Amino acid sequence: MRYLIPFLLLLLSAGLSAQGIEFFEGTWDEALAKAEAEDKLIFVDAYAEWCGPCKMMANSVFPREEVGDFFNANFISVQYDMEKPESADFREFHRAPAFPTLLFINADNEPVHRIIGARQAEQLISDARTALERIDNMAVLEKAYANKEPEAAYKLIRALIRRGEPHLKIANDYLRTPGLDLASPAPRRTIFLATTEADSRLFDLLIEQRDGIIELEGRQAYDEKVRDAVRATFNKALEFRSQELMGTAVNKMALVDKDEAKRLESEGEFAFALQGKEHKDVYKAAKNYLKKGAAGDEDRLRDLFGALENSEFIDYSVIIDLAAESLGAAAELSEEGWRDYYNLARFLQKRQRYEQGLEAAERSLTSLGPDGQDNYRRAIQDLVDQLRAQTE
């Protein structure tokens, strides 16, 4: 137990809002068909249930937001326990000499790249880029583009984006081609692919060609593209401390979703306040964001809590109160609110608010319910006991 509890604390404290790799749950044949239809490689996590490094990647690497962003955009991702029947069809063609084995496989069921052993997030993304580079022959793609071959612009832009290299000039030059019908499928697919920021002509075309792009890519993918592009401009506004650029992000979002634009505006005001020096400004902006932007959205509420907890203003009593209110509100919304209550209790314990912390810990225990895992129950009970002793 002496070693188990700290490990459980780590798991309990893990955020639930991380957007990591979305693993496809179909058959291997269906994964191959999906890869062919979407013109993507398949990423395979070949693991074993008992493998410690496999569990590390599942818990700490695959859920990372930056990993999810890169892999969800560029791969069909699947996971197989190589010692169970679920992997039988896959094992007819591929083997894992050790665990984990990470494979990149094309739609013809041919391995492109293989890694043996666990990777941290940055290493995994680097290895994934290597796999993409093996199928993206830049010299061939550039020659095809120069010769104006069909879909050459799309494939070259996609390769540039994968490599993290500038792509906007080629995209804009292609879309300004004399006689090009922007309402036809190829330009629309290119607009969708190349739009990475809201402060761009490409974003305006994304809005202009909305219905046709949705018909090609689907409503969910379109909405995600819009939000990702707006978020990129939002982040750039914060990086350069540009109120004008923030206004652009908000205005572009309003073209698609006015309610989301209002939430984004209040979030931006809060983020700018955090860059300042006055805790009163932070409190006012955070309170407004809690009311107008984060309310009813458990992910945003957790993000608000995290931003306040990690800010230089967290020692102020009013900021502690607001952080606690944010995480408590997230707990009320979540199906697994016991996790948030547990994290809230630890936060309050650290701030020597033992009675409040005890209340949160007891709510965590109650929220876990009778069917909760015994290991988690013991960890929460341990925290309850600590806080009870500290309130005496």
> How high is the pLDDT of residue 19?
76
C-alpha distances (whole Å) from 387 to each of 91, 101, 368 are 51, 44, 18
In a domain, residue 381? The reply is no
Angle at 320 between CA 318 and CA 325, to 5 degrees: 95
Tokens 């061939």, residue located: 140
| Average of per-residue pLDDT across 17-39 | 90
| Average of per-residue pLDDT across 212-222 | 94
pLDDT band at 18 (very low <50, low <70, confident <90, very high): low
In a domain, residue 310? The reply is no
94 SS3 class:
coil
In a domain, residue 38? The reply is yes
Question: How far, in whole angstroms, is CA 243 from its chain's centroid?
Answer: 25
Q: How far apart are CA 47 and CA 366, in angstroms?
A: 35
Q: Which two tokens stand for residue 35?
A: 């890869």
In a domain, residue 176? The reply is no
pLDDT band at 369 (very low <50, low <70, confident <90, very high): confident
* pLDDT over 90, % of the chain: 89
For the chain, the C-alpha Rg in angstroms (whole number) is 24
> How high is the pLDDT of residue 373?
79
The answer to whether 67 and 57 have CB atoms below 8 angstroms apart is no
| Average of per-residue pLDDT across 278-299 | 96
Residues with catalytic roles: 51, 54
> How high is the pLDDT of residue 5?
38
Domain that holds residue 20: 15-134
The total number of structural domains that make up the chain: 1
> How high is the pLDDT of residue 190?
97
Task: State pLDDT tens for residues 145-172.
Answer: 999 998 999 999 999 998 889 999 999 9
Task: State pLDDT tens for residues 314-353.
Answer: 999 999 999 999 999 999 999 989 999 999 999 999 999 9
Q: Which two tokens stand for residue 352?
A: 């020597």
- The CATH number for 83's domain is 3.40.30.10
The answer to whether 347 and 327 have CB atoms below 8 angstroms apart is yes
In a domain, residue 90? The reply is yes
Residue 28 clears pLDDT 70, i.e. is over it = yes
In a domain, residue 53? The reply is yes
In a domain, residue 85? The reply is yes
The answer to whether 81 and 47 have CB atoms below 8 angstroms apart is yes
Tokens 């592009």, residue located: 229
For the entire predicted model, the pTM comes to: 0.79
